[in-house]
Amino acid sequence: MKCRKPSFLDLEYFYRYRDALKEERIEFPDKLKDYLTGKEMPFSNRDYIRQKILKFLVEEKNYLKDDIFVDRTIILEINGQQILSLVDISININKKTLMVWKCSSGSLVSRERQIIASSRLLEDYVVPFAAVTNGKDLELLDTYTEKVIGTGFLAIPSRQEFIKTTSYISLKPANKKKIIYEQRILYTYDAISCPVSFNK
């Protein structure tokens, strides 16, 4: 069956479209400069997204560099094996971690449960807010209810707004009966999808 759309038969259209795609193609660098330290690092999709978020938090939302931590470690022990799970970004204000971030290309929905599990295992209390982003889209999550409470970068409060929002929040301990469930969720992501482990 022949396609009757003129654009399908028009070679001039085809070449214009092909050239437009070439112009839109993004060239990624071999190395990145860490926004917080200024040190160079090898390029990775995760770090490319994360550097964008770090700059956004400091320059547009007025967070202090001292508020922000990267690659906080959660140590899991499943079936006698210890697994490392890294939290891409965490925001700490007044010595309390109040938000955790997952920076990953692809679908946001597929990472929601991962960052919620991280919010319940990183500290001895539940970190109340979490965000997932692929660098273009963003979801802000209430980790107590597991619901999306905002979308897009405008959903992220400024530092001053965030302090006001969290000033009345009472940090709750994680449900001990569900800890193993949360650990298995991270195990699925970190040990199976992208293993990082070490022996005792």
Whether the CB-CB separation of 114 and 185 falls below 8 Å is answered with: yes
Does residue 70 lie within any of the structural domains? yes
The yes-or-no verdict on residue 193 having pLDDT over 70 is no
pLDDT at 58: 98
For 194, the domain range is 65-198
pLDDT at 4: 46
pLDDT one-digit tens code per residue, 129-147: 999 999 999 999 999 999 9
- How far is Cα 122 from Cα 124, in angstroms, rounded to an integer? 7
Does residue 46 lie within any of the structural domains? no
pLDDT one-digit tens code per residue, 22-47: 545 556 778 999 999 999 999 999 99
Does residue 189 lie within any of the structural domains? yes
The yes-or-no verdict on residue 9 having pLDDT over 90 is no
The yes-or-no verdict on residue 197 having pLDDT over 80 is no
Report long-range pairs for 157-160 (Cβ below 8 Å, ≥24 apart): 157/61, 158/61, 158/62, 159/61, 159/62, 159/63, 159/64, 159/67, 159/93, 160/62
Tell me how many domains the chain contains.
Answer: 1
Does residue 8 lie within any of the structural domains? no
- How far is Cα 155 from Cα 172, in angstroms, rounded to an integer? 23
Three-state DSSP at 141 gives: strand
What's the CATH number where 76 sits? 3.90.1570
| More confident site: 56 or 20 | 56
Does residue 21 lie within any of the structural domains? no
Does residue 94 lie within any of the structural domains? yes
Does residue 124 lie within any of the structural domains? yes
Over range 52-75, report the average pLDDT. 97
- How far is Cα 150 from Cα 98, in angstroms, rounded to an integer? 16
pLDDT at 18: 53
Could you tell me the pTM of the whole model? 0.81
pLDDT one-digit tens code per residue, 76-130: 887 777 888 999 999 999 999 999 999 999 999 999 999 999 999 999 999 999 9
